[in-house]
Chain A
Amino acid sequence: MESNNKLVFSRRSFIRTSALAGGGVLIGFNLFQACKPEAKPPVDISQLNFNDFNAFIKIADNGMVTIFSPNPEIGQGVKTSMPMLIAEELDVPWDHVHVVQGALDTKNFTRQVAGGSQSIRQGWEPLRQTGATARQMLVNAAANKWGVDPKDCSTKEGYVFNSSGDKLGYGELVKEASVLEVPEEVSLKKPENFTIIGQDVPNVDLDKIITGQPLFGLDYKEDGMWVASVLRAPSFGLVLDGYDDTEAKKVNGVEQIIEFKNRIAVLAKDTWTAMKAKSLLKANWKEDTTLESTEYHDEKLLNLLNGKEFNTMRSDGDVEKAFAQADQIVERVYESPFLPHNCMEPMNFFADVTDQKVRLVGPIQTPEGTARQVATLLERDVEDVSVEMTRMGGGFGRRLYGDFAQEAALISNLTKKPVKVVYTREDDMTAGIYRPAIKYKSAASIKDGEITGYHLKEASVNSNMYGLIPNFFPAGAIENYRVDVAKYNSNITTGAWRAPYTNFLSFAEQSFFDELAEILNKDSIQMRLDLLEKVKGTEDERIQYSPERLQNVIKEAVAKSGYGNAAEGVYQGFSAYYCHNTHVAEVADVVMENDVPIVKKVTCIVDCGIVVNPLGAKNQVEGGVIDGIGHAMYGNFIFSDGAPKDKNFDTYHLIRINETPVVETHFIQNDYAPTGLGEPTLPPAGAAVANAIKAATGKRLYKQPFVNELKVKAPLG
């Protein structure tokens, strides 16, 4: 095996091995530490015990490898792709590898990392090093047996070979390997020698999913468990003011009804009984804070945009001067509503709080943070709290928040019973932690036919864009550049939603550039390429994107989609965006049917570095693009008197199969370290579609959802 990339750092800090009583070896490593490059190894290695490790590789006597993956799976495929990295460097065939969600032993799995688009990027080096370290120990064991230099040995598909052609299977070496020193220095494979990375590997839970086996939080059961359905305030701003549970109590199978923190929980023997009894509760609510509505938010946010109070997040050159000297100023306002996550699996969590411990089980993206929150809430030591993760029926950001786990813990603590809290769809949609409603004002100054200044203003509910975003395109490309933000504090809970901020900012920006090109009478592709040209060789270290890589996906998208040469009756829209360390360009093809624009196809070009699992990656890309289109087109989440107007899928429109375009995906081939895919293909989709609709109808879209602007019920795909 070829080697390069010598890396020297203390592997013993996060890897230890031990022989298993039943045969085989267990290799423990600390993924939490390993994934944080800035994390310091512990000073005294002998102080470490296995409870400090949270991920394991087991190599059995028969050479079969089990990887206990601690990363929460929310549908972005990390449960498949992260073990692929270990298996690659361990040099075993993928069909000898068995992946287990590492949640069986709560003691050993108390520290876990959250999923999301960062998992693969952060795990790229450490996971491969872990695999390579284990491989090296097996090689050393074989070399000892043969009495040869380990350097003269090689590995392939689960065997160690020496130069005389002898071979030993990993299973025959595990016993010896387990007592060897952990090597300080290992070599990683060159990308051209990868045998697993870059191959199509199906979802590891595929068999279980298609046969309906229990996997998800909602499927979790224990003897003696009660199901809790919780009545929460129907509006943000209301508090509980007494209730009558006479009717609810009459329902057969109801165990207990309790009030807690402005909520009422019904505990019953099964889910239906709990939900039914909850619907019979008669609660009184009184106004505590303002009951806000969408019109109210519109007014507040527009006032902010038109006002003077902003935080400046980045300022280059002199925007005011550029605007004062301009021949022309182009200014547009883009508007988006709140959005619920609507994970297909409604929120749920199990908690069993006893004097000895607090046991939590369920679908969560942030097990560690949740354990801490629950410990604080119940005034318990965090050591008493264990979190076991199930597979998740979607995340999209909603399962970063442990509010539902806290609820389960509170109820179990009060009742001293093991409880699983289950949300109805209505609960899920009305007790959300929504994407905040946001408005952008994009302004450009034009002098002698060129863009001389760019001023972006954001008015958002509760929180503003994170610090890296102002350093995305067009930062660095326009001399006078400023990003200002302002926010309105609402009592409506908001948080991360797939590709936070960029999911809408990208629409505003890429629509704006399309319109600028039109106003300047420029080719919109050439204009983007020219702007990016100016960023090349920049010494500004804050700039997040690579102008070369962004230019590259743009050119590739033009070539693959035939942009500019569309067939008769096909209207195309273009969009390119960088976020989550990945560069993406998309072209949407729209046709008109009965005066309604229909999105037929989207061509998507992605540069995410090395594609670890092309099959899973393609699935992510398609999902992101369609999700982006679905929400831009239909996502209409309106508040009135503090309550969401839509509470279930009868009136809230999620994109369906008959509204879905075909997504054609192309990955840029290169050797860059892999970057995330769960999010970055979503943001550009809205603008690609909006720009195509402009081409088809002449109408520019400034506000989501598009259906409202187009005054059509449902454009079908």
Chain B
Amino acid sequence: MPVYSIKINGESHSVEADPDTPLLWVLRDHLNLVGTKFGCGMGQCGACTIHLDGSATRSCLLKVSMVDTMEITTIEGLSKDGTHPVQLAWKEIDVPQCGYCQAGQIMSASAFLAQNSNPSKTDIRDAMSGNLCRCASYNRIEKAIETAASKMS
């Protein structure tokens, strides 16, 4: 099996895996970074969202062999201690219910706000439409993104 050297949350890791292994499972099973979640395995739910060179990416569709030297950020590395403005806004609004989808929501929201710091409601709804929340915490996700945006600008 080939060995890949990948950079996650600022640290280099070498992993031995089949080339077609999705990054999601490398994170979860090889590197014990289980914050990134599995929901559908086909890019439809957003539970597995990470940042790839800063852009929100579905890690279930990204093969480990494609990562190369790109920088990966997972929920564990978004901030040192949960103090990214999006995480703080999530706390302030008490967004999660079961919580399972929320790492993916936070990763999508933080990448989005990095691109658009002053989004309209429609911008937010469009940007977040790839992330499912079965508990339907959607109203609060919207509110938390507005809160984070106002604090970041």
Contacts and interface: CB of A to CB of B under 8 A. Distances in A.
Nearest to A425: B40
A84 interface: no
Contacts of B91: 202, 206-207, 210
A394 B44 contact: no
A219 B100 CA distance: 11
B30 interface: yes
Given A252-B18, A342-B134, A346-B38, A75 B98 contact: yes
A272 B76 contact: no
Interface in B63-93: 74-76, 81-82, 87, 90-91
Interface stretch (A283-291, A484-492, A535-543, A619-627): A619-627
B37 interface: yes
Given A344-B98, A657-B125, A213 B44 contact: no
B29 A271 contact: yes
A615 interface: yes
A219 B38 contact: no
A655 B135 CA distance: 10
Interface string A88-112: 0000000000000000000000000
Interface string B123-153: 0111011011111111111100000000000
B53 interface: no
B98 A212 contact: no
Nearest to B89: A210
B134 A343 contact: yes
Contact of A344 (B81, B94, B101, B125): B101
A169 to B, nearest CB: 29
Contacts of B47: 344
Nearest to A201: B94
A620 B139 CA distance: 12
A157 interface: no
A494 B126 CA distance: 35
Interface residues of B, number: 58
Interface string A249-272: 000100000000000000000111
A648 interface: yes
A501 B47 CA distance: 30
A650 B40 CA distance: 9
B106 interface: yes
A200 to B, nearest CB: 8
Contacts of A380: none
A425 B94 contact: no
Given A206-B91, A622-B140, A344 B126 contact: no
Contacts of B115: none
Interface residues of A, number: 64
A392 B37 CA distance: 13
Contacts of A214: 34
Given A346-B38, A657-B131, A211 B75 contact: yes
A426 to B, nearest CB: 8
A648 B44 contact: yes
B68 to A, nearest CB: 19
Give the one of B91, B128, B134, B137 with max A CB within 10 A.
B134
A394 B134 contact: yes
Contact of A211 (B76, B135, B139, B140): B76
A479 to B, nearest CB: 40
A345 B25 contact: no
B84 to A, nearest CB: 9
Interface string B22-55: 1001001110111111111110110100000000
Interface stretch (A30-38, A556-564, A658-666): A658-666
8 contacts: A77-B97, A209-B99, A211-B87, A270-B29, A345-B39, A392-B98, A393-B37, A425-B40
Which are the 5 A-B pairs with shortest beta-carbon distances? A212-B35, A75-B98, A393-B100, A212-B75, A626-B136
Given A218-B34, A270-B30, A393-B101, 17 more contacts: A75-B135, A206-B90, A207-B91, A211-B35, A211-B81, A218-B38, A271-B38, A344-B133, A345-B39, A616-B94, A619-B140, A620-B97, A622-B139, A626-B139, A657-B138, A657-B141, A657-B142
Interface of A: 73-77, 200, 202-203, 205-207, 209-216, 218-219, 221, 227, 252, 270-273, 275-276, 342-346, 391-396, 424-425, 615-616, 619-620, 622-623, 625-627, 630, 648-650, 654-658, 660, 662-663
